[in-house]
Chain A
Amino acid sequence: MNGWILAATVALGAGVGTALWGVATGPLRRRVVAQNMSTALVCPALLLLSQGYTRPSYVDLALVLALLGPVGTLVFARLLADELADDPPRAWGVTWAVAGFGAVVVGVVSAATGPSRAMVKLLVIGALLIGGNVVASRALSGGFRGVGRG
């Protein structure tokens, strides 16, 4: 057990635990936000675990999750558009807090990696993670209502 694994355990236990509780209980507006936050928390946890176990392949999992998590949320935002329009989620505090956590984790892991191609990959993952989750949160709260529904 080192500091990286400890931090990942805290992120998974406290963060993802809370997110799962939010997905399983409460009104729809809380569930969709918690669903979005769960992938946004697992991705930094995977980066911490890859550093803790020195297994670079975990970084690829984080990359896939950073890409597919927000895409999954966009599918929910589209399918539940009518229900969410009546009672739209307003969770910018949580969104920016989790985005900040992701930024801190990416920054620290990048600093530990040192300037290399691996660091650029981490920064790409961080940009995808934060950008994707901010866009997904905006879609959930009805920020793209002008977009045609096909």
Chain B
Amino acid sequence: MNRRTTLLIAAEALAWWCALAALWLVLISTVDTLELVVGASAAGVAALAATAARRVVSAR
């Protein structure tokens, strides 16, 4: 894995995180600090999983 691929993966994970965090923000009922912390963490885990899953599927 060279520097370029690492950067691409990081950019993809970041894009997933932005989209998923925005989705969380839209779907919750009240916006407070705890919700934001939990949403950011959940979006982080989901972004890593989505990046990994997409790479596996496109490498097939």
Interface residues of A in 41-66 (CB under 8 A from B): 56, 63
Q: Which chain B residues lie closer than 8 Å to A124 at the CB level? A: 23, 26-27
Complex: A121 Cα to B24 Cα, angstroms: 10
The docked-state distance in angstroms from the alpha carbon of A100 to that of B25 is 28
Contacts of A117 in B (CB 8 A): 25-26, 31
In the complex, what's the smallest C-beta–C-beta distance from A131 to chain B, in angstroms?
15
Number of interface residues of A (CB under 8 A): 6
Distance of A63 Cα from B27 Cα, bound (Å): 10
A75 to B26, CA, bound (A): 29
Chain B interface category by residue count: under 10
Q: Is the interface of A mostly helix, strand, loop or mixed?
A: helix
Residue A20 CB within 8 A of the other chain = no
Closest B residue by C-beta to A60 = B27
Give the A-B pair count, Cβ closer than 8 A: 11
Contact B26 A120 (CB under 8 A): yes
Q: Could you tell me the distance in whole angstroms from the C-beta of A77 to the nearest C-beta in chain B?
A: 20
In the complex, A150→B39 CA distance in Å?
A: 34
Interface residue? B29 (CB, 8 A)? yes
Partner pick for B29 among A56, A63, A120, CB 8 A cutoff = A56
Q: Which residue of A lies closest to B31 (CB)?
A: A117
A58 to chain B, nearest CB (A): 13
Cα–Cα, bound, A86→B31 (Å):
52
Chain A residue at smallest Cβ distance from B28:
A117
B25 to A, closest residue via Cβ: A117
A149 to B26, CA, bound (A): 36
Q: How many Å lie between the Cα of A117 and that of B27 in the bound state?
A: 8
Given contacts A63-B27, A124-B26, A124-B27, 5 further A-B contacts (CB under 8 A): A117-B25, A117-B26, A120-B26, A121-B27, A124-B23
- The 11 sampled A-B contact pairs (Cβ below 8 Å) are A56-B29, A63-B27, A117-B25, A117-B26, A117-B31, A120-B26, A121-B26, A121-B27, A124-B23, A124-B26, A124-B27
